[in-house]
Amino acid sequence: MQVKEIIKLKGGTLYTATPRQLLADAIATMADLDVGSLVVMDGGRMVGMLTFREVMLALRDNGSRAEGITVGEVMVRDPVTVYPAMEANDLRRLMIERHSRYLPVMDGELLMGVISFLDVAKAVLEEQSFENKMLKNYIKNWPDAQGA
């Protein structure tokens, strides 16, 4: 399974913020949409990622207050990205090595979506369920070796 298949399964909906947006507004957006990350866009291109990890660190460093802080101050600049033809096993390895729960998928300069660790788990589970069903069907329809 490749990253492009995972994106197709989950859909390419992107939730975004801008570097000048207040962190408090971005937190509200993440909570309202029940998402763990926002792609930070500026001038039509991705300039960073904001995940709940950066939010938590910013709150810790600022006495649990988000007032006056912008997304650009806390976002991850130049985040690790993946490409559509990357294999799911390589994607999982990269996510584990980099401790990244969310990775943007780039096709050249085009942002195709964001893959979460949950998206990967769902896709792998779906693929395994399909393969399991196919194997069971194959075994069920196996010709009798006795010729009965």
The pLDDT tens digits for 57-100 are 999 999 999 999 999 999 999 899 999 999 999 999 999 999 99
Across residues 129-133, what is the average pLDDT? 67
Domains of the chain, each with CATH number or no CATH:
3-140 (3.10.580.10)
- φ/ψ of 131, rounded to 5, equals -60, -40
Alpha-carbon torsion 10, 76, 101, 89, what sign? positive
The 10s digit of each residue's pLDDT in 102-124 is 999 999 989 999 999 889 888 87
Q: With a threshold of 0.85, does the pTM exceed it?
A: no
pLDDT tier at 130, thresholds 50, 70, 90: low
User: What single string gives the DSSP state of each residue in 101-120?
Assistant: SEEEEEETTEEEEEEEHHHH
The reported pLDDT for the residue numbered 146 is: 46
Amino acid at 130: F
What contacts 123, CB < 8 A, 6 or more positions away? Answer: 1, 5, 6, 9, 10, 88
